[in-house]
Amino acid sequence: MRHLIIGLFIILYSSGISNAQSAEDKLKIYDPQADAYEEIHHAVMQAMKENKHILLQIGGNWCIWCMRFNKLVTSDTTLKGIIDSNYIIVHINYSPENKNLKVLESLGYPQRFGYPVFVVMDSHGNRLHTQNSAYLEEGQGYSKKKAEEFLRQWSPAALDPNTYNKQEHK
């Protein structure tokens, strides 16, 4: 009987671990095997068609702050709406499997700010801004207000002179 209980416990425990690992696997937003240049190229093509900017989130599945930012912007309806309307998101992997050093070099070494780091590009693939994510933090996560301000300030409308010309004529 004792062996039966121990066996049952082991089965239940292993099942719990595999379920936890399955849930953890769903949180993997970075693909170490992805070709970052190709992903950026596709994002540029899409951004040109949709008149959007590109937001590169550089980090890795190992980075808790990367996951926290992703959770905030995908679960908050306001932030998700701003992103969906204004940006094409690309998650650029940095990990022992693939550091993407050539891509980071071409972006002006954004890793100097730590991870995650955000690079905003226009629809032609020109780098507009590199954002140190520490400035968006608050407590053990990110400030919705700071994230919203960052996303709005680097949106296509914020950099379009016509936005300001229309305001001046009112």
Higher pLDDT, 44 or 26: 44
pLDDT at 16 over 70: no
Domain boundaries along the sequence of the chain: 36-155
CATH architecture observed for domain 36-155 = 3-Layer(aba) Sandwich (3.40)
* pLDDT, mean of residues 76-83: 98
pLDDT classification of 22: cutoffs 50, 70, 90: very low
pLDDT at 60 over 50: yes
pLDDT at 165: 85
pLDDT at 27: 76
Question: How far out from the chain centre does Cα 45 lie?
Answer: 19
pLDDT at 11: 53
pLDDT at 170: 58
Do the bridges between strand 53-59 and strand 87-93 make them parallel or antiparallel, or are there none, so unpaired? parallel
* pLDDT, mean of residues 165-169: 68
CA 138 – CA 135 distance, rounded (Å) = 8
- The reply to whether omega before 116 is within 30° of 0 (cis) is yes
The helix-helix angle for 64-75 and 77-86 (nearest 10°) equals: 90
CB atoms within 10 A of CB 39: 19
pLDDT at 147 over 60: yes
Tokens of 140: 């053990």
pLDDT above 70 covers a percentage of the chain that reads 82
